[in-house]
A and B are shown apart, each in its own frame.
Chain A
Amino acid sequence: EAGVAQSPRYKIIEKRQSVAFWCNPISGHATLYWYQQILGQGPKLLIQFQNNGVVDDSQLPKDRFSAERLKGVDSTLKIQPAKLEDSAVYLCASPGLAGNNEQFFGPGTRLTVL
């Protein structure tokens, strides 16, 4: 099966600009995760979708971050407006099929905010 696809791979913007990331998860997987990984830290869960519904967005800074998953397949994560501290790698993940918490990650989008 194909893996998790993400685009773009890299993005450089200035603070106060807007940016959007796209994720195409593993086909047929209902759950989708977006993580933020700041350099030198582990991934931080931003939002978890189950189909097109939100399961957990407790750590999503909702004043500037938004995410959607139309039709329960692809997902986009948006930042508007970006701040310097948003510089990070944004990772999208699909769960495995074993029923445990194994997750398969996309290559990530590296965001640099200047």
Chain B
Amino acid sequence: SQELEQSPQSLIVQEGKNLTINCTSSKTLYGLYWYKQKYGEGLIFLMMLQKGGEEKSHEKITAKLDEKKQQSSLHITASQPSHAGIYLCGADLNNRKLIWGLGTSLAVNP
């Protein structure tokens, strides 16, 4: 089974709607990284969370880390077509390398 589970696998929302993507680890998290990827391209770093309860925002994207649940959520407020893409979470499990979720594919309909 996956060490890092992302949900949902895919999401289609209407422009202007809010959405949440979750990333859950089966092991203790020492760092959680969110990236965005356009189809067939490289990953673009969004945010990094390291401390329990930490919350970071960038424009209309907010990410939180729940250390107890070993889970992070990525929330997009008032989604826009430019938010479309694949969102990937990567986790540092204290072995000096990242493991990755399978990604959440987001489509935003205008």
Query: Across the interface, do A91 and B40 meet the contact criterion of CB distance under 8 Å?
Result: no
Contact of B41 among A41, A43, A101, A108 (CB under 8 A): A108
Contact of A91 among B43, B45, B97, B99 (CB under 8 A): B43
Query: Across the interface, do B100 and A108 meet the contact criterion of CB distance under 8 Å?
Result: no
Query: Across the interface, do B40 and A104 meet the contact criterion of CB distance under 8 Å?
Result: no
Query: Across the interface, do A42 and B42 meet the contact criterion of CB distance under 8 Å?
Result: no
Bound-complex Cα distance A14 to B34 (A): 35
Main secondary structure of the interface of B (DSSP, over half): strand
Query: Across the interface, do A42 and B103 meet the contact criterion of CB distance under 8 Å?
Result: yes
Contact of A101 among B43, B44, B90 (CB under 8 A): B90
CB interface residues, A 1-59, toward B, < 8 Å: 4, 6, 40-45, 48, 56
Query: Across the interface, do A42 and B101 meet the contact criterion of CB distance under 8 Å?
Result: yes
**Contacting residues, chain A, for B99 (C-beta < 8 A):** 42
Bound-complex Cα distance A102 to B4 (A): 17
Give min CB distance, A41 to chain B, whole Å.
Answer: 6
Interface residues as binary, B66-110 with A (CB distance below 8 Å gives 1, 0 otherwise): 000000000000000000000010101000111111110000000
Interchain residue pairs with CB less than 8 A apart (15): A4-B42, A6-B42, A41-B102, A42-B88, A42-B103, A48-B97, A91-B43, A100-B92, A101-B98, A102-B33, A103-B33, A103-B45, A104-B45, A105-B43, A110-B40
